Amino acid sequence: MIDKPLISIIIPCYNDAKYIEQSVNSALNQTYKNIEVIVIDDGSNAETKSILKSIESKLTKLITQENKGQSTARNVGINLAQGDFILVLDSDDFFEPTFCEKALLIFKGNTNVEIVTCNANLLFEYKRNDIYCPIGGDLNNFLIRNCALGTSMFKRDSWEKVKGYDESMRKGFEDWEFFIRILIEGGTCQVIPEALYNYRKKIISTTSKANKNKYKLLNYIYTKHKDLYIENYKPFVSHLLKIAEREENEKLKNTQRVEFKIGKALLKPLRFIKALIK
C-alpha cells in the first residue's frame, strides 16, 4: 500500500441547499490532506444548484445529472474518482476532521479490513441528540442487519470487484446490500469507537422512506442473496424468531399498561352497542 494514498470523498446531493456547504467543508477540513471531493448534483432544485455553483471552486469535480437516485449518483462519482479509497458522504451530514486519518490507519494496519465505519452523533430535529454505535463484523453479521454507517470508507478495488451499488435500489438499504457483496469473499468491517460522523435524523429522509418500504426491501435483499441465507440458515432463522418473540412480548406488555386498560374499558360499551345494531 502506498504511503499516502488518495482518498476520494463522494457526495451525492439532491435538494440539500441548507446543509451541502457544511458537508463539503467537513470533507475539505479533514486532517488527512491527500483527498479529492466530488459532488454529484442528482437533479436538485434551483436553490441547491445556486449553492453548488457558489462552492464549485472548492471541489475537485461537480457533476450534474438528472435525478437517478443515490446508488447511481454514488456510482457515477466513484467511476470518475482517482482515489485508492472511497468515502461516501450524504449531503446533509458531516464528518469530524480526523475520520479519514483514523480510518486509513486501520486499513494500513490490517489487510483483512474491507470497510471502516465509526460511531455517529444522531442529530434529531425535535428531540435530544443521541449516539449510535454500529458493531461492524464479517459477512455473518451483515446478513442479519447493516452493521455499518452507509457513509463508510472502502477500497476502490472492492467497489470495482462487486460492480458498484445496485442502481435498482432507489428506496433505501442500498448501502447494506452493497456491503454484503463486498464481504462475500471474506474480510471485516472495523468500527472506530468514536463519534466522528454527524447524522441528521430528519422527519423525512432517505432512511425514513426506506423504513416505509422495509419489508419490500428486505424481501429484495433476501431473494437476491438467497444462496447466502440458505448457507446461513440456522442463525438467520434464529434472528427472525427473536424478532417475532420480541414483538410478541412488546404487544403483551402493552396490554398490561394502565392506558390500554382504560381505553378498553371506555370502548366496551361502544362495542356492545355496535353488536346490538348488527
Backbone angles phi, psi at 165, to 5 degrees: -75, 150
**Position 103 confidence tier, pLDDT thresholds 50, 70, 90:** very high
d(CA 198, CA 195): 8
Q: What is the pLDDT at residue 277?
A: 63
Helix (H) or strand (E) holding 157, with range, is helix 156-161
Distances (CA, A) of 123 to 57, 92, 127: 29, 11, 9
**Position 272 confidence tier, pLDDT thresholds 50, 70, 90:** low
CB neighbourhood size of 156 (10 A)? 18
d(CA 73, CA 45): 16
| pTM for the whole structure | 0.85
Assigned C-alpha cell, 266:
371506555
Assigned C-alpha cell, 95:
464528518
The single-letter code of the amino acid at 28 is: L
pLDDT digits (tens, 9 = 90+) for 39-70: 999 999 999 999 999 999 999 999 999 999 99
Q: What is the pLDDT at residue 23?
A: 98
d(CA 56, CA 38): 10
CB-hemisphere CA count at 13 Å for 250? 6
pLDDT digits (tens, 9 = 90+) for 199-252: 998 655 455 556 678 999 999 999 999 999 999 999 889 888 988 888 888 877
Specify the 3-state DSSP secondary structure of 55. helix
pLDDT digits (tens, 9 = 90+) for 244-257: 888 888 877 776 77
Q: What is the mean pLDDT of the chain?
A: 91
